[in-house]
Amino acid sequence: MSIFSFLKKRLKNFQTISELVIFPVLLFLYPFVAVNQGIDLSDVTYSLGNYQFFDAMDTNWKLSIFIPSLAGHLMTYLPGAGTMLGMKIYTTLFVSMMALIVYYALKTIIPGWMIFIGEWIAISLSWCPYVILYNYMTYLFMILGLLLLLDGIMTFEGRKQDIRLFLAGVFLGCNVLVRLPNVLEASFILILFFAVYVNKEKIQTLIHRTAVCVVGYIAGAVIPLMIAIFMYGPSAYASMLKWLSSVSGDSGNSHSMAATTLLTLNAYKTTASKMAVMIPCIVVGVILFYLISKRAGGIKILNIAKIIYLGGILVLVKFYFATGVFTTNYWYYDSMFQAAMMFIVLSLVLDILDIVSAFAERLDFVVIMPGTQGERIMAFLSLMVIVITPFGSDNYTFPIVNNLFLVAPITLAQLRRVARRATSVHMPRTGLRTQEARDKFDLECAVHFPWKYMCVMIVLVVIIQGTLFKAGYSFVDGADGRPRDSKVTSVDKLEGLYTTSDNAAEIEKLYKVFKDNDLFDHELLQFGESPGLSYAFDMKPAIYTTWPTLESNTVDIFDDALMNISARPVIITDADMMTEYQDSPSVLSKIDILLDYIASNDYNIVFEDENYIVYVPCD
């Protein structure tokens, strides 16, 4: 046995062990990297506070994200969930679960090592705090629904197929009660339509399968809806729908359909402009390698040309770092965002080529990108996930960056397929038996080298930048680059977590003020950008929300809430509210209402610094 055969056998054995044991273990553990990092008093603790104080939570908001709100509340009763770290650990399990579900579900059609890399990328780029369950439960139910849909379309027939299609509908229907804008996921039925088209199946088949999916979808939506209506009544749900419609329908609101669409398109435009420099690099490379392939004795300089071209790609990467497209700020989004967007654009290009080729093949036209019917269906699924995910969010394209669990492995499989088939067309029928045949094959394949390795560059950069980002990032906390090397020792809720020294000192200082003034028995009214203080200090919110400055909390509702407070609460506000919200007329109106309440209800200031003011009612 030659040394190469020996190494190949050993590598194959290692791959088998890795796919069976190592990869699943890593995918389970990787989301827990930096789980003890960061104390964010905005979104993270706001969500945790909503889970803990579920009964006091705004009914409109609670019903609009009913399933994650209820799930988060139930999780607070689990052992160890009484601390922020405990809840972070429990919610991280959702991400581990998603990665493993995709890994095992796709292993029969995509190599395990490729799915592992795809899930590694997806976990690395999942920037949103895991405690925000309405995002991660959306992804979980979407993944389950789409995998069952894919399984039903591609694998089974008859009753087994109907069961899978029904369950796919159930999970996607449930997603409506996870987050109401998820109703747009009903459009995933287009995947079924596309599959029937490429498989050349009868219209009766389409009608039957669609009916099964729709029945499942209705069942999935109706069951949790009935639970919500049983808990709060039909009038409360109708009121929530009216409230949500007014919020999303506001033309000036960042959550409106028009606003989210424009933000998404602008993001792709920005990334496309950054990637434009790759096009001349690829074109020049293709011309260079074509000329070499036609030159007598070109094989002698082929490897040198490849090394030079790879050097050019490294120069391009350096250029991207120098111009801020990529950064080494691994504590912030800019380190990975454009790399992730380039990967998504690459995925879009491959998906569109696959889908166009499917239609071309059906119409007997020239096929741009060869592929099986199953590969076409997966490409369409990937495209639908990319298109649907950002809707209903005002976070640019960050939602799809956060949801690559299905897209990433499909994209890697597409790249591998295209690269293999681009070179296989040059394979002589007689094989590569002679050195002359091998040299000729290498020369003919050389024209594909530039675009292949430009794609490899994008994948490698997103893996490296994503991994370093995952290790260095914590939502909000330390976003300016300051190290998270301090602990808050006096606050039980925050036990075991690391934060910046300034944040730790501020929290400790505030906690001491509350303790010295015996304020923990009071309810807490928060106004500003630290809605998580009621959670951190274990103080019940005085009104329906801990974040009244949000646009969804209207001036009238806030005014009514203040007027209906039975016992005067402790009030904490941001120190410089007037300057902070000078561009928000509605928040300024709320500030006026709050200051009138403070003035007319006999409050004293017991603490004031550059960040907060604490008001306490006089005895």
Q: pLDDT tens digits, residue range 301-316?
A: 888 999 999 999 999 9
Whether residue 41 is found in the same domain as residue 141: yes
Residue 257 has pLDDT above 80, yes or no: no
* Mean pLDDT, residues 62-70 taken together: 96
Flag whether 477 is in a domain. Answer: no
Cα–Cα distance for residue pair 533/519, rounded to 1 Å: 13
Residue 433 has pLDDT above 80, yes or no: no
What H or E segment, with its residue span, contains residue 477? none
Residue 254 has pLDDT above 80, yes or no: no
143-157, 202-216, 447-461, 515-529: least confidently modelled range: 143-157
How do 570-574 and 524-527 pair as beta strands? Answer: parallel
pLDDT for residue 395? 84
Residue, of 258 and 139, whose pLDDT is higher? 139
- 61 C-beta neighbours (distance < 10 Å), count: 20
157-171, 242-256, 325-339, 494-508: least confidently modelled range: 242-256
Number of domains in the chain: 2
pLDDT band at 141 (very low <50, low <70, confident <90, very high): very high
Residue 198 has pLDDT above 50, yes or no: yes
pLDDT for residue 8? 59
* Mean pLDDT, residues 136-153 taken together: 97
Cα–Cα distance for residue pair 106/167, rounded to 1 Å: 18
Chain segment 601-614, per-residue pLDDT in tens: 999 999 999 999 99
Whether residue 492 is found in the same domain as residue 458: no
Flag whether 130 is in a domain. Answer: yes
Residue 431 has pLDDT above 80, yes or no: no
Chain segment 387-397, per-residue pLDDT in tens: 999 987 778 89
540 Cα distance to chain centroid:
31
Phi-psi sector, 68: left (phi>0), alpha (psi -120 to 50), beta: alpha
- Residues 6 or more apart from 327 whose CB is under 8 A from it? 321, 334, 335
Flag whether 91 is in a domain. Answer: yes
pLDDT for residue 283? 96
161-175, 195-209, 317-331, 434-448: least confidently modelled range: 434-448
Whether residue 70 is found in the same domain as residue 102: yes
pLDDT band at 6 (very low <50, low <70, confident <90, very high): low
Average pLDDT, the chain: 92
Flag whether 104 is in a domain. Answer: yes
Whether residue 87 is found in the same domain as residue 167: yes
429-433, 447-451, 454-458, 589-593: least confidently modelled range: 429-433
Place of tokens 């380039």: 342
- 566 C-beta neighbours (distance < 10 Å), count: 7
Cα–Cα distance for residue pair 290/446, rounded to 1 Å: 7
Whether residue 394 is found in the same domain as residue 522: no
Place of tokens 């380190």: 335
Cα–Cα distance for residue pair 47/186, rounded to 1 Å: 27
pLDDT band at 252 (very low <50, low <70, confident <90, very high): low
Radius of gyration of the chain (CA): 28
pLDDT for residue 430? 57
pLDDT band at 334 (very low <50, low <70, confident <90, very high): very high
Of 483, 460, 487, nearest in space to 471 by CA: 483
* Mean pLDDT, residues 412-417 taken together: 96
CA dihedral of residues 9, 111, 354, 272 (deg, nearest 10): -100
pLDDT for residue 445? 84
Whether residue 85 is found in the same domain as residue 168: yes
Phi-psi sector, 324: left (phi>0), alpha (psi -120 to 50), beta: left
pLDDT for residue 158? 78
* Mean pLDDT, residues 57-82 taken together: 96
Residue 330 has pLDDT above 80, yes or no: yes
Whether residue 464 is found in the same domain as residue 489: no
Give the burial class of 216: count Cβ atoms within 10 A of its Cβ; 0-12 exposed, 13-18 middle, 19 or more buried.
buried
Chain segment 82-114, per-residue pLDDT in tens: 999 999 999 999 999 999 999 999 999 999 999
CA atoms within 13 A on the CB side of 287: 6
- At which of 446, 472, 498 does a domain end? 472
Chain segment 523-577, per-residue pLDDT in tens: 999 999 999 999 999 999 999 999 999 988 999 999 999 999 989 999 999 999 9
pLDDT for residue 114? 96
Residues in the chain: 619
How do 570-574 and 612-617 pair as beta strands? Answer: antiparallel
End-to-end CA distance of the chain: 91
Host domain of residue 226:
3-472
How do 570-574 and 484-487 pair as beta strands? Answer: unpaired
Residues pairing with 614 in the sheet: 572, 607
Whether residue 503 is found in the same domain as residue 428: no
Residue 613: strand, helix, or coil: strand
Cα–Cα distance for residue pair 552/583, rounded to 1 Å: 16
Residue 258 has pLDDT above 80, yes or no: no
Whether residue 565 is found in the same domain as residue 608: yes
Residues pairing with 574 in the sheet: 612
Flag whether 224 is in a domain. Answer: yes
- At which of 425, 447, 472 does a domain end? 472
Detail the DSSP E strand segments found in 396-497. Answer: 484-487
Residues pairing with 605 in the sheet: 615
Whether residue 273 is found in the same domain as residue 413: yes
**Using an 8 Å Cβ cutoff, are 38 and 497 in contact?**
yes
Residue, of 116 and 2, whose pLDDT is higher? 116
Flag whether 232 is in a domain. Answer: yes
Residue 1 has pLDDT above 50, yes or no: no
Residue 4 has pLDDT above 60, yes or no: no
Whether residue 465 is found in the same domain as residue 534: no
* Mean pLDDT, residues 210-237 taken together: 95
Flag whether 478 is in a domain. Answer: no
- At which of 447, 472, 497 does a domain end? 472
Flag whether 479 is in a domain. Answer: no
Cα–Cα distance for residue pair 345/269, rounded to 1 Å: 10
Whether residue 403 is found in the same domain as residue 309: yes
